[in-house]
Structure 1
Amino acid sequence: MTTTTREQREQHDPWPAPVATGPVSATVAVPGSKSGTNRALVLAALADGASRLRGPLRSRDTLLMAAALRNLGAQVTDAPATDPGPAGADLVVTGPVGAINGGLASIDCGNAGTVARFTPALATLAKGDVHFDGDPRMRERPLTPLLAALRELGARIDGDRMPFTVRGGGGIAGGAVTVDASTSSQLVSGLLLAASRFERGATVTHAGHRLPSGPYLDMTVADLRAAGVTVHVDVPGPGDRPSGTADAASIRRWRVEPGGPAPLDRVIEPDLNSATAFLAAAVATGGQVTIPGWPAHTEQPGRLLPELLVAMGAEAELRPEGLRVTGGGRITGIDADLSDFGEAAPVLTGLAVLADTPSRLRGIAHLRLQETDRLAALASELGKLGARIAVTDDGLRIDPVPLRGARLDPHADHRLAMTFAVVGLAVPGVTIDDIATTGKTVPDFARMWTSMLAG
């Protein structure tokens, strides 16, 4: 006879999405940025010495990253928090990576794009073989351009997608390389983060269609510079354009000088992507939600969120206590290019099906290659509620219609699960399978959601 734990039951049993009985009024402290935490972990592991990360996110993706760095020879340990708060303990990381036990290491990437795309370049610095694998979906996600680029820079790699093995030789020469990162900006970030440890650094040129999620590359460059790495950013002119590319804007070039990052002491910003669902709750209910610690200046793409919510009828104000979003009681549709902020597309789709005018979300064809095909999954799952969503070449078209309750499957995608919770605020009878998948970025999402509704 077998037994199941409470966590296993919650993962598989449908979670009844709470219906708002009135306007939400709450302050919600979201955890640290996943993107910021994993970039900081990588740079700390590359540094020669100890670094401290304050307020880091502890979720499946960041725990996988920490485990990967330990397997590559870095030390990652908990330490008492310097400033006690909801994040709990700090993380202390001692590098550099390189020495691995027995000359062989294995890295489980799960379904974490940052782990799969940031750590292969680090594995080239290891003294031994490093085997990579992950969840079944990760075997379908884009990696081939990254691995090809690493080979061109001097790496030895067996395989073109997961599972694959990096034959680490303690370092690679580096140099100039061209990569088509039109499926994910992480393919470039994965090269840039490690490049200062290559013998000659690296010059990385993106040559392909429009680069999605550009602000994440701005984050990478800012984090490298904060760690003392010299990075030059160049936008080549038309004469440098390879044949087959659409325009000069389709290419960007980065030059990372050799030398390695310095140890750092860094405070991790709140995750503005994870804040999206909670702020959307204010819009969906005509209520008010405040996110403490919202930075006045940040490279996170989430900085674009307030103006998008305002376009849908809300008010947004950055106050001393944080960002406050107030719903206007009526949701209007939007026509928006989300190529720089595709992470917001699922939740904005959830608001769009509650709006009283049509919406068009553009520039997000790359979402087909995320944790799931987000465009198809949003259309099919929200379609169970009666939503009218058409998948276009580069996004979604949403026409508002009356909705009904249904059981929804987030397809192991944290952003979809959060989206369905937003819709459930206004549509009775929505249940969500595998709400635990939100643990990828917000480990305590279900409790935080119900606490928000309780004010």
Structure 2
Amino acid sequence: MTEPRHPSALWPAPLASGGVDATVTVPGSKSVTNRALILASLAADPGWLRRPLRSRDSVLMADALRALGIGIEEMASSSSAVSGLPEGRGESWRVIPGTPQAPASVHVGNAGTVMRFLPPLATLAEGPVRFDGDPRARQRPVGALLDALRHLGARIDDDGHGCLPATVHGIGSLDGGSVSVDASSSSQFISALLLSAPRFNQGVEVRHVGATLPSLPHIRMTVDMLRKAGAQVDTPDSGGEPGVWRVTPGALRGRDLVIEPDLSNAQPFLAAALVTGGRVTIPDWPVATTQPGDALRRILTEMGGDCTLDERGLTLTGSGRVHGIDADLSEVGELTPGIAAVAALADGESVLRGVAHLRMHETDRLAALTKEINALGGDVTETADGLRIRPRQLHGGVFHTYEDHRLATAGAVLGLVVKDVEVEDIATTGKTMPDFPEMWHEMLGGSGARV
């Protein structure tokens, strides 16, 4: 678990004076933005990303692609005539694809999508591409992915550690073919191989051989975006062999893509409505989506909220009571910190299961949640694959975040109803939501506030 920062960087979490009442427009999806950047970089012609997420993770991805010679131009979206966008809603990125260039050096920060999605693309460069990142990035697993790329014909140096730093020595192409990979620690290993596979000489057949496969909706998202870009993909969901994904080699189309709002980043705002007995609307919530965050509609309803999806977006109304939950979160692990925060305020016990893989995320999220909620008077215990949370009267104190954006937003949720909570390093939310502190204060600013 990453050590907490010096306690000087403390953010007094605002206490809600009553039920919140706000409309909150959340920025674009990180998962969609970073996948779209990879696919656009590999396409046969230029493409557009409308309303992409601008955060540390997505900027790291864009900068890494630029380091590899991919053109990414940024401009404001000021006209409603472009792609049907409402006037003044965000910016657009034009991606000009090309053959990845080397030598190059890529800094991944602590972004899982950057450290895992880019090495397969780097095999298509002619020359060395070195990957390194933050101290925590050097602890996060990438060995299974690097071994899979070696099996497919790549030459990679990592000093045998299975972690960053690592150097991909590209020769301008990759044979591809069949490979087995244990993606028990991260579904991103499979997504990473699939995203670049249309450019491999033989495409790819990826067989998952691990005991579990977390975050399966993110693989479905990858497959859906590949197909919409013109790739032929065979999956277990479409009648293929269980645990096997196949991508046929072929050209990808440049697209004009409007990025959906990040539904997982909507979680703290919806949770605010639930725990304060208020109401929050998230505009532009898609009727159909592959984003795991869509599960919030079901989960927060089970915990006492009332969800309505209509032309205004998704509205969650809290009843003033929060119920405990017994939930398998294996497919939506990224929601665990926020669900744990809500569960700590519930009227009954909660058991969160299927998320052992969170021990290898930005920090050991299970250990961090246990330590920090208990430091506020909670009763959280780790299980083999999750958390058991029993209701207790909480009190103020410092909520450490371990440079983890979802820990920071979980602390903010607790601070709505627990007096004198101070969140360490709220700026870490910039990983996926740079304006979070301002959005949080605006949500609390008044009845019917629009954020």
TM value normalised by structure 2: 0.93
Which residue does the alignment assign to 2:154? 155
Which residue does the alignment assign to 1:26? 22
Match of 1:356, as an amino acid?
D
CA distance in 1, matches of 2:16, 2:7: 23
Which residue does the alignment assign to 2:32? 36
Q: Are the counterparts in 2 of residues 15 and 431 from structure 1 also a CA contact under 8 Å?
A: yes
CA distance in 2, matches of 1:107, 1:339: 31
Which residue does the alignment assign to 1:244? none
CA distance in 2, matches of 1:222, 1:134: 29
3-state SS in 1 of match to 2:442: helix
Which residue does the alignment assign to 2:213? 211
CA distance in 2, matches of 1:312, 1:59: 30
Match of 2:32, as an amino acid?
G
Which residue does the alignment assign to 2:96? 94
Change (3 A) 1:34 1:290: same
Offset, 1:383: 1.1
CA distance in 2, matches of 1:284, 1:260: 49
Q: For 1:227, which of 229, 235, 250 is the aligned residue?
A: 229
Cα RMSD (Å)? 1.7
Which residue does the alignment assign to 2:416? 425
Segment of structure 1 superposing worse, 67-76 or 268-277: 67-76
Matches within 5 A, 1:13-162: 13-81=9-77, 82=82, 83=85, 88-98=90-100, 100=101, 103-159=102-158, 160-162=162-164
Q: Are the counterparts in 2 of residues 32 and 87 from structure 1 also a CA contact under 8 Å?
A: no
**Are 1:275 and 2:277 counterparts?**
no
Offset, 1:10: 12
Matches within 5 A, 1:55-454: 55-81=51-77, 82=82, 83=85, 88-98=90-100, 100=101, 103-159=102-158, 160-234=162-236, 252-454=243-445
Change (3 A) 1:86 1:424: farther
Offset, 1:235: 7.1
Match of 2:170, as an amino acid?
G
Q: Are the counterparts in 2 of residues 236 and 252 from structure 1 also a CA contact under 8 Å?
A: no
CA distance in 1, matches of 2:436, 2:204: 40
Identity across the alignment (%) = 54
3-state SS in 2 of match to 1:49: coil
CA distance in 2, matches of 1:298, 1:216: 11
Q: Are the counterparts in 2 of residues 10 and 435 from structure 1 also a CA contact under 8 Å?
A: no
Change (3 A) 1:321 1:236: closer
Change (3 A) 1:45 1:10: farther
Q: Deviations over 1:238-263 (max 9, x none)?
A: xx9xxxxxxxxxx5111100013111
Q: Are the counterparts in 2 of residues 59 and 442 from structure 1 also a CA contact under 8 Å?
A: yes
CA distance in 1, matches of 2:14, 2:213: 38
Offset, 1:232: 0.6
Offset, 1:87: 5.4
Q: Are the counterparts in 2 of residues 97 and 122 from structure 1 also a CA contact under 8 Å?
A: no
| Aligned pairs, number | 432
3-state SS in 1 of match to 2:243: strand
CA distance in 2, matches of 1:278, 1:354: 15
Change (3 A) 1:371 1:428: same
3-state SS in 2 of match to 1:330: coil
CA distance in 2, matches of 1:406, 1:153: 51
Change (3 A) 1:408 1:299: same
The unaligned stretches of length 5 or more in structure 2 are none
Q: Deviations over 1:52-106 (max 9, x none)?
A: 00010000000000011111121011123133567522000010242x2xx4100
TM value normalised by structure 1: 0.93
Q: Are the counterparts in 2 of residues 11 and 436 from structure 1 also a CA contact under 8 Å?
A: no
Offset, 1:142: 1.2
Offset, 1:297: 0.1
Which residue does the alignment assign to 1:4? none
Q: Deviations over 1:218-251 (max 9, x none)?
A: 00000000000000113799xx9xxxxxxxxxx5
Offset, 1:30: 0.1
CA distance in 2, matches of 1:421, 1:340: 24
Change (3 A) 1:284 1:359: same
3-state SS in 2 of match to 1:149: helix
CA distance in 2, matches of 1:321, 1:11: 41
CA distance in 2, matches of 1:308, 1:442: 22
Match of 1:387, as an amino acid?
G
Offset, 1:290: 0.3
Which residue does the alignment assign to 1:3? none
Offset, 1:13: 2.0
Change (3 A) 1:149 1:31: same
Q: Are the counterparts in 2 of residues 48 and 94 from structure 1 also a CA contact under 8 Å?
A: no
Which residue does the alignment assign to 1:248? none
Q: Are the counterparts in 2 of residues 235 and 252 from structure 1 also a CA contact under 8 Å?
A: no
Match of 2:155, as an amino acid?
R
Q: Deviations over 1:283-302 (max 9, x none)?
A: 01000000000000000001
Change (3 A) 1:442 1:197: same
Q: Are the counterparts in 2 of residues 79 and 89 from structure 1 also a CA contact under 8 Å?
A: yes
Offset, 1:303: 1.2
Q: Are the counterparts in 2 of residues 31 and 87 from structure 1 also a CA contact under 8 Å?
A: no
CA distance in 2, matches of 1:12, 1:300: 36
3-state SS in 2 of match to 1:32: coil
Change (3 A) 1:87 1:365: farther
